[in-house]
Chains A and B, each alone.
Chain A
Amino acid sequence: MRSMLLVLLLACSLPVFADEARPLADDPVIEQRMVDLASDLRCLVCQNESLAGSHAELAEDLRREIRSLMKQGKSDKEVISYLTTRYGDFVLYRPPFKPVTYLLWLGPLIFLGIGLGVWYATLKKRRAMPDQTVDGTQIAAAAKLLDENL
């Protein structure tokens, strides 16, 4: 009897949860698109969180706005330009490739180039060094040192 009651109670509580989740599950396709897009966008309030994962009020407003833009049939590109005209490229976790960001995008390649250059120069210098000749007395001295340590 008791377990029956529990099941009945649980059954009653189900619709409550379903009701709360409805706005999210309204249109699963748009929801998925919104989440995919918003994961690559920065929340302006908690700057290390994505717009998809943030609980900040502004993030909620912006997610709602993205949803409604998508429902109006706007493409991902149009949604992103809606956000960048208001908040600038700062909202993008993947900054666009343009003159201001050349150093950002090409910096790692430049550093790799410098590293390769240093590596090449070192190898070249090493190769240019004459082979050292070792005579018998030096080998004997080395062997003696090794023996002592053992």
Chain B
Amino acid sequence: MKRWLPLILFTLLSAVLYVGLHLNPREVPSPFIGKPAPAFTLPTVEHPDKTFSPAQMQGKVWLLNVWAPWCVACRQEHESLLQIAQMGLVPLVGLNWKDKGREATALLAQSGDPYLACAEDLSGMVGIDYGVTGTPETYVIDKRGLVRMKHIGPIDAEAWENKFMPLIKELNR
């Protein structure tokens, strides 16, 4: 036993370090899980004279996608969002975060608008209220207006199949 102790300790340490290698420090746990999605009222990119507020989505499971025209990863994600919108499984609401150049309107007109509505958060304060650290981030909000999941980074096929779809189906039941 005594002879094996160093080997056992080494193996344990290696296992801990190996697991650590695959942890993503960007995956900060959100304190909003299970809590009400912060309220806001913002004009929309599509119709600046109209406003959007989460209360309008009461009774629906919906996604809040935080993005920005200056964000490269968001452009990658755009295609997936268009597909998600086409599926019609879940309404997609955008939050255009800190778009100082006001490029969102042109961008959505040019490359397609996957959003039911896209709120315009110029100052970035609503993003801060949601604990946004970088774009893109997507929140799954349930019928009662509670945040059920936060996804950091672009939604790819794998995240959609394994994280979003099962949760959305369950919440819609």
Residues of B within 8 A of A44 (CB): 28, 133-134
User: Is B128 in contact with A88, judged by CB distance below 8 angstroms?
Assistant: no
B91 at the interface (CB under 8 A from A): no
What CA separation (Å) do A84 and B130 show in the bound complex? 11
Whether B28 lies near A86 (C-beta < 8 A) is: no
A-B contact number at CB 8 A: 35
Q: Is the CB of B133 within 8 A of A87?
A: yes
Asked whether any CB of chain A lies closer than 8 Å to the CB of B131, the reply is yes
Contact B29 A45 (CB under 8 A): no
A-B contact sample (19 more), CB < 8 A, given A86-B128, A88-B31: A44-B28, A44-B133, A45-B133, A45-B134, A47-B25, A57-B98, A58-B133, A58-B134, A61-B124, A61-B128, A65-B128, A84-B31, A86-B31, A86-B129, A86-B130, A87-B131, A87-B133, A90-B28, A90-B29
Say yes or no for B51: interface residue by CB 8 A criterion: no
A44 to B133 Cα, complex, angstroms: 6
* B80 contacts A by Cβ under 8 Å: no
Closest CB pairs A-B (n = 8):
A44-B133, A88-B31, A86-B131, A87-B131, A90-B28, A61-B124, A47-B25, A88-B29
Task: Bin the interface of chain B by size.
Answer: 10 to 19
CA distance A58 to B134 in the complex (A): 8
Q: Which B residues fall within an 8 A CB radius of A?
A: 25, 28-31, 98, 124-125, 128-131, 133-134
Shortest Cβ gap from B146 to chain A (Å): 15
Residues 78-132 (chain A) with a chain B CB within 8 angstroms: 84-88, 90
Could you list some 18 contacts between A and B, CB below 8 A?
A: A44-B28, A45-B134, A57-B98, A58-B124, A58-B128, A58-B133, A61-B124, A65-B125, A65-B128, A85-B31, A86-B31, A86-B130, A86-B131, A87-B28, A88-B29, A88-B31, A88-B131, A90-B29
